[in-house]
Amino acid sequence: MIALCVINNVQGEGMKYSYSETELKRYRKVEERYSKWMEDHWYSGAKAKFEWNEETVRRILALNDAIIEKENNLYRLLSNVKADIENLLASGKTYYKYYDIDAYLSYEAEDYATPTGDEDMMFDVYLATNYEFCTGLHTSADKSLRPVEEEFDRSTNYNWDVMLRDFTDKNHFITRSLHRLMQEETYTLEDLLWLNPDNFLECIEIRN
């Protein structure tokens, strides 16, 4: 599944954001709920409680490999969009002369609930840790795309992650994105077992 967003921004003008008092109160409430979740689940030793067995290993590796496939799809999509815009510019159409493109994976689920939190709680956790930023790619009229292996930092195998210390297969490549899901304290290992790879959405935002 793909989401495409085009944002028209007049060259030379900044995009201004303002938040109402109601919105600010909601953001503060999100942070409060997230802090409480951290106390209850991360600081209480969620990693130590996790049981590594054949089934949990299989499910975490399946999630990891599915995310890598999503990353590859996202990169291909971004490359194609960039090529299309460059072709338009080459043909004399200058509408996107100053284009910027952001691409990222977003987890879009009908139900965010996991064993450590209900739907509202886990959605707040997701918002507070900004997973889209963790998987983000960027290109523009002045910035070329690097090879996919470099864009997603695949020179490093993140199976050294402290959360994966008891993971037996040290040769299996763990993507940075799965590492960030845990390192950024978004989800515990138990939560990862409940994430559906099909819910990772490839998102593209184009600005000019």
Mean pLDDT value of segment 90-107:
89
Of residues 127 and 156, more confidence is placed in 156
174/181 Cα distance (integer angstroms): 12
Task: Please say whether the beta carbons of 145 and 151 come within 8 A.
Answer: yes
CB count in 10 Å sphere of residue 204: 19
Instruction: Give whichever of 37-41, 76-80, 149-153, 163-167 has the largest mean pLDDT.
Output: 76-80
In this structure, what is the dihedral angle of CA atoms 160, 166, 167, 173, given to the nearest 10 degrees? 0
Quote the pTM value.
0.76
pLDDT confidence bin for 69, thresholds 50/70/90: very high
Q: pLDDT for 153-170, tens place per residue?
A: 898 888 776 666 666 677
Of residues 164 and 13, more confidence is placed in 164
106/192 Cα distance (integer angstroms): 15
CB count in 10 Å sphere of residue 34: 20
- Which tokens sit at 100? 């910027």
132/86 Cα distance (integer angstroms): 26
